[in-house]
């Protein structure tokens, strides 16, 4: 009987923690990390395991619990997305240059502006990268340990969330990328797809300086 009571108490605590996670995720406008939610749970709770179980419970519902990088969020089930899609006017649609730049950063990160230009074959205006950063899809990672110490760029969790990707490994393959009309004839033969890195800084990257706010290279001429 004592064992049954102990099991019942365990289930009660687990269900309470699941409800807490559910409430936190529904109330949040942005995806949440495990660390952000752990503090709201009981002592010793395994937040990662609880999130996995909660995701399974919602797998067949109208909304699904999905992971976006290292964060979690509720999103409309893919097969029902058309029901809730609203007609929205985009006042600043992405240009082809911005789309190409985003694709290069996504597949070849960490990438410098000079490396982006090498793949595209044309100069990339700073405003193009600024636009992607304002959208929250691109971030400055660090500085490359090469002459001029150019800034390296990578994608964000918001990029994964917007395009419905759990991780960068879910990016479309080379043939799909060509089918979309991006980088059709500009990929160097040595470039592998996908070849992204969104983790810690590489050995050839230094942390950003405290005064790095605009992503300017220390010496653009040398960086190129």
Residue 126 sits in a domain whose CATH number is 1.10.10.10
Phi, psi of 72 (to 5 degrees): -130, 150
Say what the pLDDT of residue 29 is: 85
Dmax (CA) of the chain: 78
Q: Which residue has the higher pLDDT, 76 or 222?
A: 76
The pTM (predicted TM-score) of the whole model is: 0.59
> For 109-140, how does the pLDDT look when each residue is reduced to its tens digit (9 = 90+)?
889 999 999 888 888 877 899 999 998 999 99
pLDDT tens-digit readout, 17-55: 999 999 999 999 889 999 999 999 988 899 999 999 999
Residue 71 or residue 168, greater confidence: 71
pLDDT of 55: 94
**What pLDDT, on a 0 to 100 scale, did the predictor assign at position 223?**
38
Contacting residues for 153 by C-beta, under 8 A, at least 6 apart = 105, 109, 110, 111, 112, 113, 116, 129, 138, 139, 140, 141, 215
Check whether residue 24 and residue 108 sit in a common domain: no
- The count of structural domains within the chain is 2
Residues 153 and 202 both lie in one domain: yes
Residues 33 and 101 in one domain: no
Residue 17's pLDDT is 93
Give the pLDDT confidence score for residue 88 in this predicted structure. Answer: 44
Pairing of strands 151-155, 138-144: antiparallel
Assess whether 41 and 77 both reside in one domain: yes
Residue 180 has pLDDT above 70, yes or no: no
Domain check: are 64 and 162 in the same one?
no
Query: Mean pLDDT across the chain, nearest whole number?
Result: 79
């Amino acid at each position: 009987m004592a064992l049954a009571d102990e099991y019942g108490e365990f289930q009660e605590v687990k269900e309470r923690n699941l409800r807490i996670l559910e409430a936190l995720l529904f109330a949040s406008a942005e995806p949440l990390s495990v660390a952000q939610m752990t503090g709201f749970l009981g002592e010793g709770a395994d937040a990662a395991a609880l999130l996995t179980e909660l995701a399974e419970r919602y797998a067949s519902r109208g909304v699904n619990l999905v992971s976006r990088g290292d964060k979690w969020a509720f999103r409309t089930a893919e097969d029902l997305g058309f029901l809730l899609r609203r007609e929205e006017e985009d006042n600043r649609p992405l240009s082809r240059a911005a789309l190409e730049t985003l694709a290069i950063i996504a597949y070849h990160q960490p990438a410098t502006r000079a490396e982006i230009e090498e793949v595209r074959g044309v100069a990339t205006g700073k405003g193009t990268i600024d636009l992607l950063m304002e959208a929250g899809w691109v971030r400055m990672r660090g500085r490359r340990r090469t002459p001029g110490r150019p800034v390296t760029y990578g994608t964000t969790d918001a990029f994964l969330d917007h395009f419905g990707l759990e991780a960068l490994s879910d990016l479309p393959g080379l043939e799909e990328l060509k089918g979309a009309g991006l980088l059709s004839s500009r990929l160097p033969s040595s470039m592998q797809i996908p070849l992204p890195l969104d983790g810690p800084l590489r050995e050839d990257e230094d942390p950003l300086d405290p005064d790095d706010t605009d992503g300017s290279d220390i010496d653009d001429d040398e960086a190129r």
